[in-house]
Structure 1
């Protein structure tokens, strides 16, 4: 059984993209967003971020995704896109550890020219229902009630992205909510048991958006 981290010799992604991924990882952990929650806010399929944070994949954060990430984390591009011309110079090294079930955990280190090593992050596959530490105190029931109330207005007459819905609710509450609770609330509005039906579809930018479907 392997019990230690082993350096990954061949990386599929360019180093600048790996560092960008690590920057976003640190931002989402600080915000308390799981892989699934960030995928949801980006308007992508459930395991989009899981794939990006798996270094065996070649999926990258393209420029349009970086723009949405800036809105999600309320940050500048510099927090996402690494400056490759900084001094002192450094390289990024990635290590992996496989457990008994062949699950892989990665560890990233920044190695400076003088030999100094700084650990960046340890990351791997997260459970879809994972709730990371968050400042939010809003319950899932409260989020669901808000969505149901909005269904009684014209709020969903126009398609809205998950990030817009989240920001609208947070602006009303003046506090953060968990994206997982919002995702579950939107999914629960499926037209059964007298509930309204909210449609999910891709827009022209290949981003999931939500709008109401009348039961009449």
Structure 2
């Protein structure tokens, strides 16, 4: 409902009240209403961002913002290693970046939030806590400062009716975006893998994941 619809609706209500009570002559009036808009943590927003705090480096800051921080003040990934953060729905299309000995951890429904965070197997979840179905886009704005051959992959996962589905996968170097639709109360998850088997200690991946949502 847009702003003009709201104004028209209120006008109709006021007009109906005046008609029912006659002319209602008065000399002065004052009417007040309560208005409250809260700025909340990411997990409590209309678009909820929920960190799986069992996953290293994915957490809520003291200011209530979800962050992914692996390195700098936090431990980073080892050289000659592969790390997975959150379960994937499938290992398809990631075998080439995980090496011959690493087995991708998969789950039938990693983004499931039906039992709260205890059931979340994704690294993080996006939850539609609004009253409208949403079209959701995740843009990757990442800077690859890589001297070695460090690679990575992000998987976007839906959770609908107890079934997990891969909505898309983005592998390095990432230049695109991932899109999906999210009904009221549904969640999507994001998990990722970093392969530093041929990486160097100078390799760094920095930037942001930008999420946008519009009503369907």
Q: TM-score range by the shorter chain?
A: under 0.3
Structure in which a larger fraction of residues adopt strand: 2
TM-score by length of 2: 0.23
Structure number, greater radius of gyration: 2
